[in-house]
Amino acid sequence: MEHVVIVGAGQAGGRTARALREQGFEGAITLVGEETLLPYERPPLSKAVLKGEAEIKDVMLADEDAYREHEITFIGGCRADELDVNARTVRLSNGDSLAYDHLVLTTGGVAKSLPIPGGDLPGVHLLRTAEHSTAVGKYLKEGAKIAIVGGGFIGLEVAASARQRGCTVTVLEGFERILARSLPEQTAQDVASVHGQNGVEIRTNVRIASFRGDGHVEAVAFEDGSELPVDAVVVGIGIAPDTKLAETAGLKVDNGIVTDEFGHTSQEGVYAAGDCASAFMPRYGCHVRLESYQNANLQPANLARTIRGEQRVYDPVPWLWSDQYDWNLQTAGFPNEFDTVVSRGSVAEGAVVYFSLKDGVLRGVAGLGQGAAIARDVRFSQMMMEKGISPSADQLANPEVPLKDLLKAG
């Protein structure tokens, strides 16, 4: 009987195990995770779970009975310490060794910390796991002074959640603007305006020297000598792909575990998916590492087909979303790759969509709207990119021209 071992029990790992069963794989499946919890979705950790609107059990992919029913063995609270690709074995931190026919690495990412004095003080938190979310949530009380380091998606989601729980919130961004790595400046300005309307202070170009406190963080100290009093700090400056096991086993690693368009790594019988995988995408002609809910669902399903011998190219147009207050931010493609940006709508109207073009080709879209106001436009734009349709900048900017018609015309 074939044995698939999955190292990493986050969303991608759990989806891989379930997809194998749903697609008819009849061999043994073992899922190994460092957390004791069964696989769960991470996006709610900075939103519903952090606000107290949901519990961890509410965001789990499935309960124990489902894993038992699908004959998926879960080994939690355990780390994979050594991978022998020649013997096809994985040695675990509990001393056990698992032999595999197929090994899937869904090791995810590790939240980056700030290597500065006071970075290990109580009250200074990261946000990547359920444990992190629970710890941060204890500080989100009416009037609490919360500093968020990092003006990316995670930092802004935490800021919104903290404000909705009555906290005084300051976002500290080292770059000249928020969302500098992912969105055009105009879009980022709109997002910043929404946070400003909700009482969040955003400081840019900040230089943090240390976190100060006597037994617990009390202030953020800046290089110019000023300080910001705080009750807690959340560091949300991104993740680094967890590639340690892959590297020590000799797999090719370059900003993630390198795979082809089917999920194969550089070693036979070893695959990778999720936040840790840098997959070749023919659509873009390069390797891309995606950190998104979409990727954590679709890539494992495709990888399950590869393991079963039904290879299909994995080549999506990336899509992600973020809920902040009653606003929904969605992107498709790569909005930050452009020489021209045009828009339709405005924040004042409750919905604005930005289109990024490069050399006349639609490369990305970003929409910000109340509720689901921009969902259809982002989806139509994604479908245009999937089909290789690139309307002119004038057409995209004209609200009198429905995107659905542009899609059909293409």
**What would the pLDDT profile of 337-361 be if each residue is shown by its tens digit?**
999 999 999 999 999 999 999 999 9
The architecture in CATH of the region 3-110+239-307 reads 3-Layer(bba) Sandwich (3.50)
List all residues 6 or more positions away from 106 whose beta carbon is below 8 Å from its beta carbon. 6, 7, 8, 9, 10, 12, 13, 16, 272, 273, 274, 276, 300
pLDDT of residue 1: 87
Helices (H) and strands (E) in the chain, counts: 10, 26
Please give the average per-residue pLDDT across 141-164, as a whole number: 98
Domain with CATH 3.50.50.60 in the chain: 3-110+239-307, 114-235
**What would the pLDDT profile of 311-334 be if each residue is shown by its tens digit?**
999 999 999 999 999 999 999 999
Structure tokens at 183: 């969105």
The answer to whether residue 410 scores a pLDDT higher than 90 is no
pLDDT of residue 409: 84
pLDDT of residue 259: 98
Per-chain mean pLDDT for the chain: 97
Domain with CATH 3.30.390.30 in the chain: 326-409
Residue 161 near residue 54 (C-beta atoms within 8 A)? no
97-99, strands of its sheet edge to edge: 80-84, 89-92, 97-99
Please give the average per-residue pLDDT across 247-266, as a whole number: 98
Structure tokens at 300: 């494992």
The answer to whether residue 143 scores a pLDDT higher than 80 is yes
**What would the pLDDT profile of 23-63 be if each residue is shown by its tens digit?**
999 999 999 999 999 999 999 999 999 999 999 999 999 99
**What would the pLDDT profile of 170-216 be if each residue is shown by its tens digit?**
999 999 999 999 999 999 999 999 999 999 999 999 999 999 999 99
Which CATH superfamily hosts domain 326-409? Answer: FAD/NAD-linked reductase, C-terminal dimerisation domain (3.30.390.30)
pLDDT of residue 196: 98
pLDDT of residue 267: 97
- 3-state SS of 96-124 is CEEECCEEEECCCEEECCCCCCCCCCCCE
The answer to whether residue 85 scores a pLDDT higher than 90 is yes
Under DSSP, is residue 323 helix (H, G, I), strand (E, B) or coil?
A: strand
pLDDT of residue 395: 97
pTM of the model as a whole: 0.96
Four-way CATH pick for 114-235: 3.20.20.140, 3.40.50.11740, 3.50.50.60, 3.10.450.50: 3.50.50.60
Strands 145-149 and 232-235 come out as parallel
* Phi, psi (rounded to 5 degrees) for 173: -120, 130
**What would the pLDDT profile of 106-133 be if each residue is shown by its tens digit?**
999 999 999 999 999 999 999 999 999 9
